[in-house]
């Protein structure tokens, strides 16, 4: 098997099991303003930047007859909830082993995440193995012009590694993230969520039930 020139990793739901925690934080924040978020709405938030998600939740609240809010109003409620939950996120099965294997083989790695630098630090602190991924593009990176599903985050990650994105393997779990990586030209590997099916994702992605399936 030909190994990739580099591996580009999402974080939430791919390396760390944060998606149920993010969903709970958004659900509780919306409920504070009288709006119940449904499962398909929570799915639509996966993989996207915090501000983009807050703006979407704000719109849903207002469209349902709720109060007129700013994104900051939503985040003021949501962020303390998330901050209390996210440090408890466990690694996804096979994630640590995959990162350590890439490191041992000398395969360059970068993190391509929608999470802010501050949020990544909060979630990563209990997991020292994540420090092996030294190059990172965060959702609040000043060079990042657009969040997922735009290709910018993967293009920027590949550029910082000095590799062609078409020679990279990108690892994602969200539909928005898979679209982003595919638009960047990467070979996309999707870790299917418990409620996900491969047909929901762009064509030509490689679907995985667990990162432990992957062999490098």
Is there a domain that residue 65 lies in?
yes
Beta bridge partners of 188: 170
Q: Does 117 share its domain with 136?
A: yes
Is there a domain that residue 192 lies in?
yes
Give the model's pLDDT for residue 85. 94
pLDDT tens for the chain, residues 1 to 216: 589 999 999 999 999 999 899 999 999 999 999 999 999 999 899 888 899 999 999 999 999 999 999 999 999 999 999 999 999 999 999 999 999 999 999 999 999 999 999 999 999 999 999 999 999 999 999 999 999 999 999 999 999 999 999 999 999 999 999 999 999 999 999 999 887 899 999 999 999 999 999 888
Final residue of a domain: which of 71, 87, 103? 87
Distance CA 205, CA 198 (A): 8
The residue range of the domain holding 143 is: 6-17+90-213
10 among known catalytic residues: yes
Final residue of a domain: which of 68, 87, 106? 87
Handedness of CA 13, 16, 22, 24 (dihedral sign): positive
> Would the pTM count as exceeding 0.75?
yes
Handedness of CA 171, 172, 173, 178 (dihedral sign): negative
Q: Does 132 share its domain with 38?
A: no
Q: What is the count of structural domains for the chain?
A: 2
Is there a domain that residue 12 lies in?
yes
140 among known catalytic residues: no
């Amino acid at each position: 098997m030909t190994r990739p020139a580099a591996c580009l990793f999402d974080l939430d739901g791919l390396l760390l099991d944060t998606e149920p925690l993010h969903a709970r934080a958004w659900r509780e924040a919306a409920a504070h303003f009288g709006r119940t978020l449904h499962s398909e709405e929570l799915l639509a938030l996966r993989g996207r930047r915090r501000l983009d998600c807050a703006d979407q939740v704000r719109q849903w609240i207002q469209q349902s007859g709720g109060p007129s809010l700013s994104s900051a109003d939503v985040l003021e409620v949501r962020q303390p909830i998330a901050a209390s939950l996210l440090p408890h996120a466990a690694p996804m099965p096979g994630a640590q082993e995959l990162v350590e294997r890439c490191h041992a083989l000398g395969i360059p790695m970068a993190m391509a995440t929608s999470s802010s630098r501050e949020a990544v630090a909060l979630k990563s602190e209990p997991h020292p193995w994540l420090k092996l991924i030294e190059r990172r593009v965060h959702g609040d990176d000043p060079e990042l012009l657009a969040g997922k599903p735009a290709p910018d985050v993967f293009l920027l990650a590949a550029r910082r590694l000095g590799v062609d994105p078409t020679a990279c393997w990108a690892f994602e779990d969200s539909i928005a993230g898979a679209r982003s990586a595919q638009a960047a030209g990467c070979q996309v590997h999707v870790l299917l969520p418990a409620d996900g099916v491969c047909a929901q994702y762009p064509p030509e992605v490689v679907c995985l039930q667990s990162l432990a399936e992957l062999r490098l």
